[in-house]
């Protein structure tokens, strides 16, 4: 018989769970997620898999009653003790390799943070990368603080109207129901700072997101004392026109530095994730001028404090503002200083004296950082070419290096896959598991980032073909059932017959190809349908069927991107592809996780060399989904001829129409000559041995290489600690 829990024991668990719910560590702990899921399965599903919302859904009375189930309470205790051990680990990588960052942390500024689907404050890959960077900084135990904006309406939700045209709507984020907490001072009062924007002085508060050991502070101007247009400033991710944009960036850069100072922090490095944050350099300079330095001296002193990561070769991705707008938005800020406005303007121009040149945030960041980097090797080359005229040195000497992007592995791994690998690492009957325990200790979650672990994938004693194929089937089925549910919900007028009809959409045995990302036109979502007749033949092949799942949002003002969506949805409903091509609405982190895990192939066909890195394909590898990509961004470094599939070669024609034509032909050629035969070449037990061999090789060579664990260590060694 179990002894009932005393009320002191209950209080401790309840308090522990409340604290845990406000730390996103649970988003990469399977046991924590399973616990909250079980507390309220519907609440979990309906409120974006969010522990805070589940604890609101379940009354205190219910929680205490449920914890009298000894097994359930035992699970709570074990999750809490794991959480506690994580928070207080005295032997992290950071303790050994970067102790000086604990006193003077890295301050990482980003206009977007893609941390979790319940906090939709990212528009795409840039934000997802910022979220993953932060999670790995926490895992590594780095001294690290994130600075971002709290967008009350977040990024838009996508709906498709009866003309298959994307429309946008916004779900206000309720700060009390998502994993954030108000930033309070020692006396328990809200921390309020101010920043001059336009002619006004604007108050702002901050919300703290606990990302494991690391805080991210999200700035928020929605306070009653502010004028309405300033209250609305932080409503939406990249919402409004360039006036809103510049004002958001003033808040982020200048406000962000002020908040850090209010918290008593003296960061050793200010990391600008993309040019949006570059106004932070003006505030660092202002501080120095206020202490008596000249404008020139302030520049020289600010530069060693900052580093900058550029994320795109696409021109529109670099903010440029007119001098009128700069003057308008910064008038009060600059008026309070002794430096003439025209001197500030020179910092954002390639030719300082050219009054017609727009003020460019990337130029400001490049001029005022000690190091700059691109996000893949090819993007490094492209960026050195793009910014050469700023430096007037040979291209190879342009001081822009590169660190290739990665993903936070555990955060992206789907539940069954986490459990699968965890069993492999902890199974006491497995001799290899002993090897890993001896090498990496009892903490499986750190072993999972290591190359040695993934290299084991080529060993069929460690994991058999049958096990891997079973896992692939399970993941594909989960995706297809997810897609069927979602398609039924997307269908505006559901009739009773639809419940049956939708359960027959897609084929759980078919080679499943996924494509999901922002519908920026350079990513060429509909490229594959340039071979329409051929694709119809592939899809219709009864013996060797192929099917396609698409998802993605176009920017609200990008009509060309919206036309791509329209075209694909039209094909999915009204062409010979209907039933074997679907479009899932409202792409977000959750949809992404379903797709990268359940698809067999992850298609990526950007117009080279515009994909700076790309990360969605990296999320696929650990699930046994293989890449099929143009040789651009990370794939150019990852692909070795045997660990996935390439479209074309390491070159591209300059002519855009020619490039589209060649790429779509190569895409179809690889599909028919390599992918389809390999997938359907089965032995007597129905197992595609050659396919699995390639899959094992893809895991062995890609997974541990393209993580933010590797990436953040590189940032630390190359940039954060080199000063
Ligand atoms: C990973 C991810 C992206 C970035 O994907 P790319 O391949 O880099 O374009 C964008 N949005 C979401 C929701 C993601 O999860």
Work out which ligand 1 atom sits closest to the CA atom of 619. Answer: 1
Instruction: In whole angstroms, give the CA distance from residue 571 to residue 58.
Output: 44
Work out which ligand 1 atom sits closest to the CA atom of 125. Answer: 4
Q: Is the CB of 592 under 6 A from ligand 1?
A: yes
User: Residue 617 Cα, ligand 1 centroid: separation in angstroms?
Assistant: 9
Work out which ligand 1 atom sits closest to the CA atom of 593. Answer: 15
Q: Is the CB of 517 under 6 A from ligand 1?
A: yes
Q: Is the CB of 633 under 6 A from ligand 1?
A: no
- Whether 272 maps to a domain, the answer reads no
Q: Could you read off the pLDDT of 327-352 as tens digits, one per residue?
A: 999 999 999 888 889 999 999 999 99
- Whether 104 maps to a domain, the answer reads no
User: Residue 146 Cα, ligand 1 centroid: separation in angstroms?
Assistant: 20
Q: Is the CB of 130 under 6 A from ligand 1?
A: no
Residue 401: CB atoms within 10 A of its CB come to 15
Work out which ligand 1 atom sits closest to the CA atom of 587. Answer: 13
211 three-state secondary structure:
strand
Spatial contact of 141 and 105, defined as CB atoms under 8 Å apart: no
User: Residue 336 Cα, ligand 1 centroid: separation in angstroms?
Assistant: 41
62, 87, 112 - which closes a domain: 87
Q: How many residues does the chain have?
A: 723
Q: Is the CB of 406 under 6 A from ligand 1?
A: no
Work out which ligand 1 atom sits closest to the CA atom of 407. Answer: 1
User: Residue 417 Cα, ligand 1 centroid: separation in angstroms?
Assistant: 20
Q: Is the CB of 411 under 6 A from ligand 1?
A: no
Best residue among 48, 116, 124, 623 to mutate for probing ligand 1, ranked by most atoms within 8 Å of CB: 124
Partnered with residue 661 across adjacent β-strands are: none
Q: Could you read off the pLDDT of 361-393 as tens digits, one per residue?
A: 999 999 999 999 999 999 999 999 999 999 999
Q: What is the mean pLDDT of residues 522-545?
A: 94
Work out which ligand 1 atom sits closest to the CA atom of 613. Answer: 8
Q: Is the CB of 588 under 6 A from ligand 1?
A: yes
- Whether 654 maps to a domain, the answer reads yes
Instruction: In whole angstroms, give the CA distance from residue 321 to residue 311.
Output: 19
User: Residue 414 Cα, ligand 1 centroid: separation in angstroms?
Assistant: 16
Q: Is the CB of 614 under 6 A from ligand 1?
A: yes
User: Residue 556 Cα, ligand 1 centroid: separation in angstroms?
Assistant: 17
Q: Could you read off the pLDDT of 141-172 as tens digits, one per residue?
A: 999 999 999 999 999 999 999 999 999 999 99
Q: Is the CB of 124 under 6 A from ligand 1?
A: yes
Determine the pLDDT at residue 443.
75
Q: Is the CB of 615 under 6 A from ligand 1?
A: yes
Greater model confidence, 238 or 402? 402
Best residue among 616, 625, 706 to mutate for probing ligand 1, ranked by most atoms within 8 Å of CB: 616
Partnered with residue 202 across adjacent β-strands are: 195
Q: Is the CB of 131 under 6 A from ligand 1?
A: no
- Identify the burial level of 201 via C-beta atoms within 10 angstroms of its C-beta, where 0-12 means exposed, 13-18 middle and 19 or more buried: middle
What sign does the dihedral 212-216-218-219 (CA atoms) show? positive
CATH of the domain at 541: 3.40.50.2000
Best residue among 592, 595, 606 to mutate for probing ligand 1, ranked by most atoms within 8 Å of CB: 592
- Whether 556 maps to a domain, the answer reads yes
Q: How far is CA 619 from CA 255, 445, 446, in A?
A: 34, 17, 17
Q: Is the CB of 589 under 6 A from ligand 1?
A: yes
Q: What is the residue-averaged pLDDT of the chain?
A: 95
pLDDT at 428 over 80: no
Instruction: Name the pLDDT band for 1 (thresholds 50, 70, 90).
Output: low
Partnered with residue 512 across adjacent β-strands are: 547
User: Residue 517 Cα, ligand 1 centroid: separation in angstroms?
Assistant: 5
User: Residue 195 Cα, ligand 1 centroid: separation in angstroms?
Assistant: 33
Work out which ligand 1 atom sits closest to the CA atom of 617. Answer: 7
In terms of Cα–Cα distance, which of 213, 234, 210, 214 is closest to 222? 234
User: Residue 522 Cα, ligand 1 centroid: separation in angstroms?
Assistant: 14
Determine the pLDDT at residue 438.
81
DSSP 707: B
Mention every residue, 6+ apart, whose C-beta is less than 8 A from residue 189. none
Instruction: In whole angstroms, give the CA distance from residue 542 to residue 26.
Output: 44
User: Residue 372 Cα, ligand 1 centroid: separation in angstroms?
Assistant: 23
Spatial contact of 581 and 547, defined as CB atoms under 8 Å apart: yes
Work out which ligand 1 atom sits closest to the CA atom of 591. Answer: 13
Greater model confidence, 4 or 697? 697
Q: Is the CB of 13 under 6 A from ligand 1?
A: no
- Identify the burial level of 39 via C-beta atoms within 10 angstroms of its C-beta, where 0-12 means exposed, 13-18 middle and 19 or more buried: buried
Q: Is the CB of 376 under 6 A from ligand 1?
A: no
User: Residue 516 Cα, ligand 1 centroid: separation in angstroms?
Assistant: 7
Q: Is the CB of 128 under 6 A from ligand 1?
A: yes
Instruction: Name the pLDDT band for 451 (thresholds 50, 70, 90).
Output: very high
pLDDT at 597 over 70: yes
Instruction: In whole angstroms, give the CA distance from residue 207 to residue 189.
Output: 13
In terms of Cα–Cα distance, which of 177, 157, 176, 154 is closest to 168? 157
pLDDT at 2 over 80: no
Q: Could you read off the pLDDT of 241-296 as tens digits, one per residue?
A: 999 999 999 999 999 999 999 999 999 999 999 999 999 999 999 999 999 999 99
User: Residue 471 Cα, ligand 1 centroid: separation in angstroms?
Assistant: 24
Instruction: In whole angstroms, give the CA distance from residue 298 to residue 360.
Output: 20
Ligand 1: which residue has its CA nearest to atom 1?
616
User: Residue 683 Cα, ligand 1 centroid: separation in angstroms?
Assistant: 36
Ligand 1: which residue has its CA nearest to atom 4?
125
Q: What is the mean pLDDT of residues 595-602?
A: 98
pLDDT at 693 over 90: yes
Among 16-20, 70-74, 239-243, 255-259, the range scoring the smallest mean pLDDT is 239-243
Give the DSSP letter string of 193-246.
Answer: EEEEETTEEEEEEEEEEEETTEEEEEEE---TTS-HHHHGGGSBTT-S-HHHHH
Partnered with residue 159 across adjacent β-strands are: 167
Longest alpha-carbon distance in the chain: 83
Mention every residue, 6+ apart, whose C-beta is less than 8 A from residue 65. none
Q: Could you read off the pLDDT of 75-115 as tens digits, one per residue?
A: 999 999 999 999 999 999 999 999 999 999 999 999 999 99
Q: pTM for the complete prediction?
A: 0.97
- Whether 536 maps to a domain, the answer reads yes
Number of domains composing the chain: 2
What sign does the dihedral 595-597-599-603 (CA atoms) show? positive
- Whether 352 maps to a domain, the answer reads no
Q: Could you read off the pLDDT of 635-664 as tens digits, one per residue?
A: 999 999 999 999 999 999 889 999 999 999
Instruction: Name the pLDDT band for 316 (thresholds 50, 70, 90).
Output: confident
Instruction: In whole angstroms, give the CA distance from residue 238 to residue 464.
Output: 48
Among 2-11, 58-67, 390-399, 576-585, the range scoring the smallest mean pLDDT is 2-11
87, 103, 126 - which closes a domain: 87
Partnered with residue 564 across adjacent β-strands are: none
Ligand 1: which residue has its CA nearest to atom 9?
517
Work out which ligand 1 atom sits closest to the CA atom of 633. Answer: 8
Ligand 1: which residue has its CA nearest to atom 3?
125
Ligand 1: which residue has its CA nearest to atom 5?
616
Work out which ligand 1 atom sits closest to the CA atom of 517. Answer: 9
pLDDT at 477 over 80: yes
Q: What pairing do the DSSP bridges indicate for beta strands 193-197 and 200-211?
A: antiparallel
User: Residue 553 Cα, ligand 1 centroid: separation in angstroms?
Assistant: 11
- Whether 566 maps to a domain, the answer reads yes
- Segment (H or E) for 548: strand 546-551
- Whether 598 maps to a domain, the answer reads yes
Q: Is the CB of 520 under 6 A from ligand 1?
A: no
Spatial contact of 117 and 188, defined as CB atoms under 8 Å apart: no
Determine the pLDDT at residue 437.
78
Work out which ligand 1 atom sits closest to the CA atom of 604. Answer: 7
30, 61, 87 - which closes a domain: 87
Partnered with residue 309 across adjacent β-strands are: 273, 373
What torsion, rounded to 10 degrees, do the Cα atoms 11, 12, 13, 14 define? 40
Residue 303: CB atoms within 10 A of its CB come to 16
User: Residue 128 Cα, ligand 1 centroid: separation in angstroms?
Assistant: 7
Q: Could you read off the pLDDT of 499-512 as tens digits, one per residue?
A: 777 888 899 999 99
- Identify the burial level of 218 via C-beta atoms within 10 angstroms of its C-beta, where 0-12 means exposed, 13-18 middle and 19 or more buried: buried
Share of the chain above pLDDT 70, in %: 99
Structural domain of 500: 469-691
pLDDT at 536 over 60: yes
């Amino acid at each position: 018989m179990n002894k009932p829990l005393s009320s002191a024991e209950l209080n401790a668990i309840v308090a522990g769970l409340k604290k845990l719910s406000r730390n996103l560590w649970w988003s990469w702990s399977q046991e924590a997620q399973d616990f909250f899921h079980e507390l309220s399965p519907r609440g979990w599903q309906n409120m974006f898999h969010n522990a805070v919302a589940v604890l609101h859904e379940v009354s205190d009375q219910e929680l205490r009653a449920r914890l009298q189930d000894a097994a359930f309470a035992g699970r709570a205790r074990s999750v809490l003790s794991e959480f506690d051990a994580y928070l207080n680990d005295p032997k992290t990588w950071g303790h050994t390799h970067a102790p000086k960052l604990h006193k003077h942390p890295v301050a990482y500024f980003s206009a977007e943070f893609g941390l979790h689907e319940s906090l939709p404050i990212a528009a795409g890959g840039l934000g997802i990368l910022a979220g993953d960077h932060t999670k790995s900084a926490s895992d590594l135990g780095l001294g690290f603080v994130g600075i971002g904006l709290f967008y009350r309406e977040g990024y838009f939700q996508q709906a498709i109207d009866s003309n298959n045209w994307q429309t946008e709507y916004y779900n206000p984020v309720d700060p009390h129901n998502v994993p954030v907490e108000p930033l309070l001072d020692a006396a328990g009062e809200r921390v309020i700072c101010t920043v001059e924007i336009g002619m006004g002085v604007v108050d702002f508060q901050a919300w703290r997101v606990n990302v494991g050991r690391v805080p991210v502070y999200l700035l928020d101007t929605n306070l009653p004392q502010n004028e309405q247009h300033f209250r609305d400033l932080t409503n939406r991710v990249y919402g409004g026109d360039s006036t809103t944009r510049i004002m958001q960036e003033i808040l982020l850069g200048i406000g962000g530095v002020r908040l850090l100072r209010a918290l008593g922090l003296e960061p050793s490095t200010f990391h600008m994730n993309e040019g949006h944050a570059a106004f932070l350099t003006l505030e660092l300079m202002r501080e120095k001028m206020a202490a008596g330095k000249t404008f020139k001296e302030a520049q020289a002193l600010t530069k060693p404090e900052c580093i900058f990561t550029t994320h795109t070769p696409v021109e529109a991705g670099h903010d440029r503002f007119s001098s009128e707008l700069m003057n308008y938005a910064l008038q009060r800020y600059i008026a309070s200083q002794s430096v003439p406005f025209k001197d500030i303007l020179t910092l954002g121009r390639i030719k300082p004296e050219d009054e017609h040149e727009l003020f460019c945030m990337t130029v400001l960041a490049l001029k005022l950082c000690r190091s700059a980097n691109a996000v893949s090797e090819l993007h490094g080359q492209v960026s050195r070419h793009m910014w050469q005229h700023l430096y007037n040195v040979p291209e190879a000497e342009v001081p822009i290096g590169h660190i290739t992007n990665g993903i936070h592995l555990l955060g992206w791994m789907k539940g069954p896959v986490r459990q699968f690998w965890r069993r492999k690492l902890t199974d006491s009957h497995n001799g290899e598991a002993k090897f890993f325990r001896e090498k990496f200790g009892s903490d499986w979650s750190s072993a999972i980032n290591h190359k040695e672990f993934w290299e084991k994938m080529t060993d069929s004693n460690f994991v058999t073909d049958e096990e891997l194929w079973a896992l692939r089937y399970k993941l594909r089925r989960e995706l297809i059932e997810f897609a069927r549910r979602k398609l039924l919900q997307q269908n505006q007028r559901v009739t009773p017959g639809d419940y049956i009809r939708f359960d027959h959409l897609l084929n759980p045995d078919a080679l499943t190809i996924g494509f999901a990302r922002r519908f920026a036109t350079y990513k060429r979502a509909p490229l594959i349908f340039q071979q329409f007749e051929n694709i119809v033949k592939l899809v219709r092949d009864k013996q060797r069927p192929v099917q396609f799942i698409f998802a993605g949002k176009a920017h609200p003002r990008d009509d060309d991107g919206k036309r791509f969506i329209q075209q694909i949805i039209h094909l999915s409903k009204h062409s010979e592809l209907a039933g074997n091509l679907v479009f899932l609405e409202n792409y977000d982190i959750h949809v992404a996780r379903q797709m990268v895990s359940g698809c067999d192939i992850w298609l990526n066909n950007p117009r080279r060399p515009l994909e700076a890195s790309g990360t969605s394909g990296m999320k696929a590898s650990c699930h046994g989904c293989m890449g099929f990509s143009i040789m651009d961004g990370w794939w150019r470094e990852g692909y070795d001829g045997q660990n996935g599939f390439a479209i074309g070669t390491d070159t591209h024609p300059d002519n855009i129409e020619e490039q589209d034509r060649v790429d779509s032909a190569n895409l179809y050629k690889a599909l028919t000559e390599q992918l389809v035969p390999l997938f359907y070449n089965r032995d007597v037990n129905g197992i595609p041995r050659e396919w699995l061999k390639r899959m094992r090789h893809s895991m062995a060579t890609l997974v541990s290489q393209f993580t933010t664990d590797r990436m953040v260590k590189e940032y630390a060694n190359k940039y954060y600690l080199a000063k």
